[in-house]
């Protein structure tokens, strides 16, 4: 039996072992969640003790994000060459050591060193966990990548309250120390369980997704127009989401709705707090959900739907954000379709360039997040001169552009690329590199 790609289904069922691999990867991702999401709890306690100022302390967070993002391709190369287990073990040491350094930091430079080391460790664990999911589930890449990346948020959801309680009871130093060691130990144990997939797993194919059965080296992948089109689309959508994460608070305050009290389910909170809480929930749900949908209807079709909904939500914030009820509706709606970029782009990258170098190629594409982050500060400049409506209006246009590119540019370009690769594979008479993509 053959699928859209003409690739035969594997005769050997890998059984439950690949699901065990997925669970290990999800737990590994959960161990690095607090390096990003839990950081905010430590800022004020550190400032209270040393009076370095929030801006100086927050530079530590910036260092972590930059290092974590831009080192992913290099760590991914090691995953493809040496396997995920060693790389996660290295990352586990990094995330533990980074927080141990934070616990002992008596100077701002030492705090920056802790952020740098933590970023190295997080990059290793991220690349190995996501890359392993892509390789073990070529027939369900969207779902597997979505569940793995959802673990990044789940880890924070489970431990944010214990961390806050520990800081209050034991101080931030001991919290850094013990949670850092605990996260490192868990990542190390789970990482040692990770394995590369067997040949029978690699041969699995999807009936609904255009895939290659060959392998394109990273140095060749970055020379293709299809890679750079995906990169541009990633930047367009990621810049909108990062802008929304960074600017949602200032936007709500400027609209004078941030501190309006509400009591959902009898719990008193403000409009902004409720919106952010709902954002985290919908973001977490959206990642595996849209991954699952993309396995059924194709990556580009799913991108068109998700980015289109994102454009509508951002335009709603632009025009009706001052309405508290609509603000609460539009922000969770937007984040429901934003987080899936971290599911769909790695999946479509592996579909296009193959399994062997899937981790490195997806890591190279992931640097688009770092490029997008450079655009985020411009939002404040545009808001100061033209207002927040213009900022969110432009973000809506970015999403709409990416949605149209998915259907009218990426889909035909990928089809042509895979068809060309199929011809080359057949001409070489090498079964392991042959592709079959139906022409249209």
- The string of DSSP codes covering 63-116 is HHHHHHHHTHHHHHHHHHHH-HHHHHHHHHHHHHHHHHHHHH--SHHHHHHHHH
Q: How many residues does the chain have?
A: 440
Tell me what percent of the chain is helix, strand and coil, each rounded to the nearest 5.
Answer: 80, 0, 20
Which pLDDT belongs to residue 423?
65
Would residue 6 be called left, alpha or beta, if left means φ above 0 and alpha means ψ between -120 and 50 degrees? Answer: left
Would residue 217 be called left, alpha or beta, if left means φ above 0 and alpha means ψ between -120 and 50 degrees? Answer: beta
Which pLDDT belongs to residue 44?
85
Cα separation values, 14 from 10, 18, 136, 230, Å:
9, 7, 9, 31
Which pLDDT belongs to residue 417?
92
Distance CA 22, CA 197 (A): 11
pLDDT by position in tens, the chain (length 440): 333 333 333 333 456 888 999 999 999 999 998 888 788 788 889 999 999 988 788 888 888 888 888 898 888 889 988 889 999 999 999 999 999 999 999 999 999 999 999 999 999 999 999 989 988 988 888 899 999 988 887 777 788 778 888 998 999 999 999 999 999 999 999 999 999 887 666 565 655 676 776 789 999 999 999 999 999 999 999 999 888 877 787 788 888 998 898 888 777 888 888 888 788 788 888 999 999 999 999 999 999 999 999 999 999 999 998 999 999 999 999 999 998 899 999 999 999 998 889 889 999 999 998 888 878 778 778 888 888 889 899 999 999 999 999 999 999 999 999 988 876 554 444 443 333 333 33
Per-position DSSP letters for 349-395, written without gaps between them: HHHHH-STTHHHHHHHHHTHHHHHHTTTTHHHHHHHHH-HHHHHHHH
Which pLDDT belongs to residue 189?
96
Which pLDDT belongs to residue 201?
64
Over the stretch 170-187, which tens digit does the pLDDT of each residue have? Answer: 999 999 999 999 999 999
| Nearest CA among 366, 344, 355 for reference residue 136 | 355
The class level of CATH for 218-433 reads mainly alpha
Beta carbons of 187 and 155 less than 8 angstroms apart: no
Distance CA 116, CA 37 (A): 16
Beta bridge partners of 148: none
- Show the beta-strand stretches assigned E in 190-297: 261-262, 269-270
| Nearest CA among 413, 74, 415 for reference residue 233 | 413
Beta carbons of 365 and 227 less than 8 angstroms apart: yes
Beta carbons of 350 and 362 less than 8 angstroms apart: yes
| Nearest CA among 385, 417, 436 for reference residue 228 | 417
Which pLDDT belongs to residue 93?
97
Break the chain into its structural domains and give their ranges: 17-202, 218-433
Over the stretch 377-403, which tens digit does the pLDDT of each residue have? Answer: 787 788 888 888 898 999 999 999 999
Distance CA 80, CA 164 (A): 38
Which pLDDT belongs to residue 387?
86
| CATH topology match: 17-202 vs 218-433 | yes
The class level of CATH for 17-202 reads mainly alpha
Which pLDDT belongs to residue 424?
58
Would residue 10 be called left, alpha or beta, if left means φ above 0 and alpha means ψ between -120 and 50 degrees? Answer: beta
Task: Say which DSSP state 10 is in.
Answer: P
pTM to 2 decimals?
A: 0.79
Which pLDDT belongs to residue 3?
38
Which pLDDT belongs to residue 204?
59
Which pLDDT belongs to residue 315?
96
Which pLDDT belongs to residue 200?
64
Beta carbons of 344 and 290 less than 8 angstroms apart: yes
Beta carbons of 197 and 282 less than 8 angstroms apart: no
416 C-beta neighbours (distance < 10 Å), count = 15
CB hemisphere CA count around 176 (13 angstroms): 23
Would residue 210 be called left, alpha or beta, if left means φ above 0 and alpha means ψ between -120 and 50 degrees? Answer: beta
């Amino acid at each position: 039996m053959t699928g859209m790609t003409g690739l035969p289904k594997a005769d050997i069922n890998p059984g439950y072992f690949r699901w065990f691999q997925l669970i290990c990867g999800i737990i590994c991702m959960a161990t690095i969640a607090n390096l990003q999401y839990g950081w905010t709890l430590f800022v004020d306690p550190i400032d209270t003790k040393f009076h370095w100022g929030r801006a100086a302390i927050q530079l530590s967070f910036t260092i972590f994000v930059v290092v974590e993002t831009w080192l992913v391709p290099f760590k991914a190369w090691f995953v493809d060459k040496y396997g995920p287990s060693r790389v996660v073990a290295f990352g586990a040491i990094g995330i533990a050591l980074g927080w141990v350094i934070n616990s002992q930091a008596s100077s701002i430079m030492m705090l920056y060193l802790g952020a740098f080391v933590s970023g190295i460790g997080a990059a290793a664990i991220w690349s190995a966990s996501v890359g392993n999911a892509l390789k073990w589930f070529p027939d369900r890449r969207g779902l597997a990548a979505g569940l793995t990346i959802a673990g990044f948020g789940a880890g924070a959801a489970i431990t944010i309250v214990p961390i806050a309680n520990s800081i209050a009871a034991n101080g931030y130093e001991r919290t850094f120390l013990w949670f850092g060691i605990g996260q490192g130990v868990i990542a190390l144990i789970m990482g040692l369980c990770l394995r590369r997939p067997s040949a029978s797993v690699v041969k699995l194919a999807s009936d609904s997704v255009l895939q290659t059965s060959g392998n394109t080296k990273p140095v060749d992948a970055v020379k293709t127009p299809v890679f750079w089109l995906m990169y541009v689309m990633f930047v367009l959508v990621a810049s909108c989401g990062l802008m929304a994460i960074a600017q949602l608070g200032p936007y709500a305050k400027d609209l004078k709705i941030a501190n309006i009290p509400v009591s959902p389910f009898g719990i008193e909170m403000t409009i902004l707090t409720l919106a952010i809480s709902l954002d985290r929930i919908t973001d977490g749900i959206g990642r595996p959900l849209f991954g699952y949908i993309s396995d059924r209807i194709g990556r580009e079709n799913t991108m068109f739907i998700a980015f289109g909904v994102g454009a509508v939500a951002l335009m709603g914030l632009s025009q009706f954000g001052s309405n508290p009820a609509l603000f609460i509706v539009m922000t969770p709606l937007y984040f429901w379709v934003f987080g899936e970029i971290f599911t769909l782009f790695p999946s479509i990258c592996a579909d296009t360039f193959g399994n062997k170098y899937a981790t490195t190629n997806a890591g190279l594409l992931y640097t688009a997040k770092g490029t997008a982050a450079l655009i985020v500060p411009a939002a404040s400049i545009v808001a100061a001169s033209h207002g927040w409506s213009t900022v969110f209006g432009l973000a809506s246009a970015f999403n709409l552009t990416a949605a149209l590119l998915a259907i009218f540019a990426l889909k035909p370009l990928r089809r042509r690329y895979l068809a060309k690769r199929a011809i080359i594979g057949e001409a070489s008479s090498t079964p392991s590199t042959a592709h079959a993509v139906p022409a249209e």
